[in-house]
Amino acid sequence: RKEVEQDPGPFNVPEGATVAFNCTYSNSASQSFFWYRQDCRKEPKLLMSVYSSGNEDGRFTAQLNRASQYISLLIRDSKLSDSATYLCVVNVDRGSTLGRLYFGRGTQLTVWP
Amino acid sequence: EAQVTQNPRYLITVTGKKLTVTCSQNMNHEYMSWYRQDPGLGLRQIYYSMNVEVTDKGDVPEGYKVSRKEKRNFPLILESPSPNQTSLYFCASSYTGTGSAAFSYEQYFGPGTRLTVT
């Protein structure tokens, strides 16, 4: 079983739609969680870290459910510029320092006009 | 400008010819890491380093070597490249820390190195 599983999509949504991505992880000792965005084989860039209580950054909301080992990303009011691949990332290491990282395979999103 | 640089950006080589991909960061980050990205498999961590002279295996270390003699540099060495190492390689760096600080540590990625081994 892979450490991190994501629905690969593709998700094709109209502008203004709300879309949600899910990610599950297998190691209950996982310490920290992130969502990255990657445009067309360019380098990934951090979208947001995921905090235990859930967190919001503008149109983006991330949630963590440790009991179900599940992370989600919600995008509201989708823009054309949101079209990208979204990567779920899990930090699995002793303690809570940044260590060994596992990436999901990514979920592809296309927003159409 | 804060950045992670990789060289070369593109490389075509033959099986068995040793090569090194360099990675350098100018942000004084403790943590550096190498990944490979393959279609359908996503990004997989090869090696990471939490500080100078401290390296550890990631998910797919076989066939690769790394060294961290200076904080800013983290070269990836392929002693005897094989066609299954054809891939897109990314280097990344970050601060690292303990406790809640680790939750906000952003990794900065280099632009990638596209390697083809024939």
Q: What is the pLDDT of residues B59-96, one digit of tens each?
A: 999 999 999 999 999 999 999 999 999 999 999 999 87
pLDDT tier, A95 (very low <50, low <70, confident <90, very high otherwise): low
In Å, what is the CA distance from A47 to each residue of A1, A68, B59, B80?
A: 26, 23, 23, 36
Tell me what the mean pLDDT of segment A2-21 comes to.
93
Pick the residue with more confidence: A100 or B49? B49
Is A43 an 8 Å CB contact of chain B?
A: yes
Give A48→chain B minimum CA distance, Å.
8
Measured between alpha carbons, how far is B76 from B91 in angstroms, rounded to an integer?
9
C-alpha torsion sign, points A23, A24, A27, A33: positive
Q: Has residue B97 got a pLDDT over 80?
A: no
pLDDT of residue B12: 97
**Local structure of A78: helix, strand or coil:** coil
Give A21→chain B minimum CA distance, Å.
16
Is B25 an 8 Å CB contact of chain A?
A: no
Cβ neighbourhood burial of A102 (10 Å; 0-12, 13-18, 19+): buried
Tell me what the mean pLDDT of segment A65-70 comes to.
91
Tell me what the mean pLDDT of segment B37-66 comes to.
93
**Local structure of B42: helix, strand or coil:** strand
> Which of B23, B93, B103 is the best residue to mutate to test the A interface, defined by the most A CB atoms within 10 Å of its own CB?
B103
Start-to-end CA span in chain A (Å): 38
pLDDT of residue A97: 65
Q: Has residue B98 got a pLDDT over 70?
A: no
Give A85→chain B minimum CA distance, Å.
11
Report CB contact under 8 Å: A99, B110.
Answer: no
Q: Has residue A66 got a pLDDT over 80?
A: yes
